[in-house]
Structure 1
């Protein structure tokens, strides 16, 4: 397995020590902006009633858009670092402008790349993009999502040693009438320093995404611990067991400040594969 802590690749992805300056800057901007946006996208914690807090928690855990009764608690998905391996042109290579990046099955490389296939426990990821300003009740039809993650060895295509010629586990989809995009993938491994996760960017349209312009949101999806433990007990994920044992969502450099709006709802199992669902308010 490619280790990210201590080798030349992980100099760019070593968890909190690398990402903290970016996270701090983004969160400060978000806090400053939040003072004026609270009336539009949600109530502060002090303003929540017990009933509304429970409703918001239930919606977040189910992965469903909140009902109209919980519209006051709707808030945008947290902004997070894209990390050092986005492949969106902000850090070297730009896969978004390559023909073939618009696809639902991201397990294989495409175009002039090496043509490899990522192995692992099957995973289907469905994100539902909704409008936060409308109380999360309005789907964002015609938006676009760029999604990427590491393979079961913890390597990122286009960047990590041994897979620089691959571009698997990266793809773009346009949201349908219900604001949904679905990707077929494999469960990512856990590398040292980071809780298992998936990166994604939201764009206003498919044209914007494939031109790598007008990015609106950058965030990450987190996996529940139970699903991670089950997957990592299967063949091919050996080092993920050790890496996960020293981590938690609460101490992760990205999810440690709160992950209610980023924790996926999981169904399925190791044999038949998992499905991860998340509602993303933008």
Structure 2
């Protein structure tokens, strides 16, 4: 599934998987950014972060360096170093897997694996991202591709963590609509040792660029969403999130290796509860 050749890529683009025709016409320009993280050690003993983990890439950029639009209604998110476990064809974590070549990854519900059909359990989370142009009075940007991925309730990553290397759940791609929005149905991520609860995401100008992945520097933005402490603690009382409360008690936003330079722009608005689930919303500005 992860080793498709150039012909497979062309085949994907000709299949018309969920708005491909619209996506292929989308264009955008922005600076190349990166993401960071410190997930659990994957099979094979690769250190957390791997060669693309914290400390590599263009360097962190905190909230103080965000760029305001002319009317002050939106701002770019901070730049992060390239993060591990993206499965976007980059060499992060010592892997070159490319889940973005899989046509089934274009989906809104990411709780199920496209290959095995297995699902992963946790408190429901509906995540909506809105992409806007900070150089155009915060106008919504349609036709761009947003890829998200995050850990399970146990703090593990599909495709990488021991026992779930055949799974690709909690990873998904969508195209922004006329309002610049995408919505994913997922679960609330767990908290693993050394990192604040978070969700990774990448933005590409088109599906053609996304299929090539991050290895060719086609990515417009790589960043992370910082989940709020109050709601995280409520979720982690659930027995499926074993160890998350302990890990959260051992870290703060100020000591996290990604969010320590400021997380205001990366923190979403949130509503709901740990019984029926939560809804998160965040606006992401890029220089369109």
8 Å CA contact 1:82–1:199 kept in 2: the answer is no
Establish whether residue 254 from structure 1 lines up as the match of residue 255 from structure 2: no
Once the two structures are TM-superposed, the CA of residue 223 in structure 1 deviates from its matched residue by 0.4
* Contiguous gaps of at least 5 residues in structure 2: 1-38
Q: Could you list the runs of 4 or more consecutive aligned residues of structure 1 that deviate by over 6 angstroms after TM superposition?
A: none
Aligned to 1:13: 49
Aligned to 1:281: 285
Return the alpha-carbon distance in structure 2 between the equivalents of residues 11 and 232 of structure 1.
Answer: 26
Q: CA RMSD in A?
A: 2.6
Establish whether residue 27 from structure 1 lines up as the match of residue 60 from structure 2: yes
CA displacement, residues 47-72 of structure 1 (integer Å, 9 cap, x when unaligned): xxxxxxxxxxxxxxxxxxx8x7425x
CA displacement, residues 30-87 of structure 1 (integer Å, 9 cap, x when unaligned): 99xx7xxx9xx43xxxxxxxxxxxxxxxxxxxxxxx8x7425xx43111223422001
Aligned to 1:203: 204
Return the alpha-carbon distance in structure 2 between the equivalents of residues 88 and 18 of structure 1.
Answer: 12
Task: Rate the CA distance shift 1:99–1:265 in 2: closer, same or farther, 3 A.
Answer: same
Aligned to 1:240: 244
Aligned to 1:265: 269
Three-state SS of the structure 2 residue aligned to 1:22 is coil
Three-state SS of the structure 2 residue aligned to 1:202 is strand
8 Å CA contact 1:146–1:171 kept in 2: the answer is yes
Once the two structures are TM-superposed, the CA of residue 18 in structure 1 deviates from its matched residue by 8.1
Return the alpha-carbon distance in structure 2 between the equivalents of residues 159 and 209 of structure 1.
Answer: 20
8 Å CA contact 1:12–1:18 kept in 2: the answer is no
Once the two structures are TM-superposed, the CA of residue 232 in structure 1 deviates from its matched residue by 0.0
8 Å CA contact 1:9–1:161 kept in 2: the answer is no
Task: Rate the CA distance shift 1:253–1:236 in 2: closer, same or farther, 3 A.
Answer: same
| Structure holding more helix per residue | 1
Calculate the TM-score normalised by the size of structure 1. 0.78
Task: Rate the CA distance shift 1:182–1:8 in 2: closer, same or farther, 3 A.
Answer: same
Aligned to 1:224: 228
Aligned length: 240
8 Å CA contact 1:125–1:276 kept in 2: the answer is yes
Once the two structures are TM-superposed, the CA of residue 101 in structure 1 deviates from its matched residue by 0.7
Three-state SS of the structure 2 residue aligned to 1:221 is strand
Calculate the TM-score normalised by the size of structure 2. 0.77
